[in-house]
Amino acid sequence: MYCLRAQVIGGHLYITDYRAIFYDRYYAPSRVLPLLETLRRHPNLPDVDLVVAAVDEPRIKTFVTPKYWSRLCAAYPGTARPKAAGATRRPDADLPPPLFSSTISRHHLDLPWLDFSFFMPQKDHKLRTPPWKILHPQMLAQSAAVRWEDKIELAMHTGNVGSPFRKRLALVAGSHPDTMLVNELFIGDHNKIRRTCHELGLERKGGFQQHLCYMTFQQQCRYKYLLNSASIGYANKFKYLLLCGSVVIYVQDGMTHKEFYEHGLLPGVHYVTVPTAADVPAMVERLRRNDSYARAVAQAGRARLATLDIAEVTKFMAELLRGYSKRQRFTPRAGKGAVRIDCEDDLWRHYARETWFARHYLTEDNSTCVHPPEPSATLGPPGWGGSYRGSKVRCTASHDLRSFAQPDACTGYAKWLGGTSFASFDEFPSDHPNDTRCC
């Protein structure tokens, strides 16, 4: 889980980590960069103070059932409840907290934030996907090189098959090899599987195959129909599939959350939907019989996503933040222990736990800075043009301190706690003086 408080004050960005644990230390910068890049492109943004819970699923539930509805209304009645004698109460205490999340749904009250996949690390990383600013134009060019007439007449999914929804998809593919191909592949397989399905002659063989081969993005675009189905958490591949110029078949079973851009897409126009995995073969047969319609849907989906470059993404963010600022009832002020962030490398230094981490991910590119240094400026450590001053994630934000996890992790400094601050939230989160692992 990753959660932070972000404040834009006078054109500067300040962050305070609430949760940045384990896996997300590698991708935490990717969750802050949407705001930093928006601020760089739109320097006159109003002051805002917000909390981002950048996880797979939204957090503020509003299930409309007798049980949950009564609970929701009791927690957030929308009007001030009688207060006990002598008690104080904020005027907004009876409203749901404004929380930004990577996905939103009809069953939640979260506000939309950009998924971390838009700002993947520019250097090599374990998920391997390039940042959107690189992959977006690259996929548009590669998909344009694949003619519609040459696309393979199968509905294809490649990747993880761990969720119950994708397991059902694999079962259907196994019994309908004439219409479907499910190619199971895990992240760890990339170190073991060296050859593509095309090289092994398996790309036209339908059915269900496991851990045999992989496909590049361009090779995935060779299929006329691409499957989008629910993963264990949220799967952010929809936007990549639409760029292929193929028909995306959206399997609705288990798909409850959406990214912000999905609300600008229409089923039947930009993609097609089926209720369950069992309905995929019939949809493929229908699309085969109506090839001109299938081609129109594929072209419309690709055209829509072609406009969603980084400039448009940050325009959305800027408009979102302007609207949010109009609803603030207070004047934002930087927290006492907040960390100022001016450049992408400020984030990599802040989140690094070990020296190799910082050395690997640093871009040394001051064009990412909100306030880039003058060309004649003399640069030196620690910021090298940014605002970094030795901050690290606080221990209480870095570790799960619940009784069944790491309850004693923050009782005192230990050698394995590299890149960790023991400062309170009212102090600047400097690294521990005995830290020899970082950075």
**Quick check: 217 and 142 in contact, CB under 8 A?**
yes
**Quick check: 248 and 157 in contact, CB under 8 A?**
no
Residue 13 lies in a domain: yes
Q: What is the enclosing helix (H) or strand (E) of 8? A: strand 2-9
2, β-bridge pairs:
20
Rounded alpha-carbon distances, angstroms, from residue 90 to 80, 94, 95, 153, 404: 9, 8, 10, 60, 34
Q: What is the largest CA-CA distance in the chain?
A: 77
**Quick check: 256 and 148 in contact, CB under 8 A?**
no
**Quick check: 59 and 99 in contact, CB under 8 A?**
yes
What is the residue-level pLDDT of the chain in tens, covering all 439 positions?
678 999 999 999 999 999 866 556 788 999 999 999 999 999 999 999 999 987 778 888 876 677 777 777 877 777 655 555 555 555 556 778 889 998 888 888 899 999 999 999 999 888 889 999 999 999 999 999 999 999 999 999 999 999 999 999 999 999 999 999 999 998 767 678 889 999 999 999 999 999 999 998 899 999 999 999 998 877 789 999 999 999 999 999 999 889 999 999 999 999 999 999 999 999 999 999 999 999 999 999 999 999 999 999 999 999 999 999 999 989 999 989 999 999 999 999 999 988 998 899 999 888 899 988 888 888 777 777 789 999 999 998 888 888 988 899 899 888 888 889 999 999 999 998 888 888 7
Listed in order, strand segments (DSSP E) in 95-145 are 100-101, 111-112
Q: Are residues 301 and 347 in the same domain?
A: no
**Quick check: 133 and 40 in contact, CB under 8 A?**
no
Query: What is the C-alpha separation between 229 and 238, in angstroms, rounded?
Result: 9
Q: Are residues 165 and 286 in the same domain?
A: yes
- CATH number at 286 reads 3.40.50.2000
Q: Are residues 375 and 398 in the same domain?
A: yes
Reduce the DSSP state of residue 316 to 3 states and report it.
helix
Q: Are residues 297 and 334 in the same domain?
A: no
Q: What is the enclosing helix (H) or strand (E) of 36? A: helix 24-41
Q: Are residues 156 and 65 in the same domain?
A: no
Q: According to the model, what pLDDT value does residue 89 have?
A: 55
Residue 354 lies in a domain: yes
- For tokens 């004693």, what's the residue? 408
Single residue among 306, 340, 368 that ends a domain in this structure? 306
Q: According to the model, what pLDDT value does residue 320 have?
A: 97
Reduce the DSSP state of residue 318 to 3 states and report it.
helix
Q: Are residues 161 and 199 in the same domain?
A: yes
Residue 378 lies in a domain: yes
Q: According to the model, what pLDDT value does residue 182 have?
A: 98
**Quick check: 41 and 127 in contact, CB under 8 A?**
no
Residue 436 lies in a domain: no
Q: According to the model, what pLDDT value does residue 321 have?
A: 97
Q: According to the model, what pLDDT value does residue 80 have?
A: 59
Angle at Cα 48 formed by Cα 259 and Cα 20, nearest 5°? 60
Q: Are residues 224 and 293 in the same domain?
A: yes
Q: Are residues 100 and 159 in the same domain?
A: no
Q: According to the model, what pLDDT value does residue 94 have?
A: 75
What does 181-236 look like in DSSP terms, one character per residue? EEEE--GGGGGT--SBTTTTT-TT--EEEESS-B--HHHHTTEEEEEE---SS---
Identify which of 89, 109, 93, 92 has the alpha carbon closest to the alpha carbon of residue 101: 109
Hey, what are 316's tokens?
A: 């959305």
Q: Are residues 151 and 294 in the same domain?
A: yes
Query: What is the C-alpha separation between 150 and 146, in angstroms, rounded?
Result: 7
Q: Are residues 72 and 160 in the same domain?
A: no
Q: Find how far residue 294's CA is from the centre of its chain.
A: 29
What is the DSSP secondary structure assignment for residue 378, as one 8-state letter? P
pTM equals 0.89
Rounded alpha-carbon distances, angstroms, from residue 73 to 65, 67, 76: 12, 10, 5
Q: Find how far residue 98's CA is from the centre of its chain.
A: 19
Identify which of 392, 390, 389, 387 has the alpha carbon closest to the alpha carbon of residue 11: 387
196, β-bridge pairs:
214
Single residue among 247, 271, 306 that ends a domain in this structure? 306
Q: According to the model, what pLDDT value does residue 42 have?
A: 96
Query: What is the C-alpha separation between 53 and 4, in angstroms, rounded?
Result: 7
Residue 287 lies in a domain: yes
Residue 17 lies in a domain: yes
Question: Do you know the residue count of the chain?
Answer: 439
Residue 8 lies in a domain: yes
Rounded alpha-carbon distances, angstroms, from residue 323 to 45, 47, 320: 11, 11, 5
Residue 438 lies in a domain: no
48, β-bridge pairs:
8
- For tokens 């959406």, what's the residue? 258
Q: State residue 29 phi and psi, 5-degree precision.
A: -55, -35
Q: Are residues 151 and 279 in the same domain?
A: yes
Number of structural domains (the chain) is: 2
Question: Range of 210's domain?
Answer: 132-306
Reduce the DSSP state of residue 376 to 3 states and report it.
coil
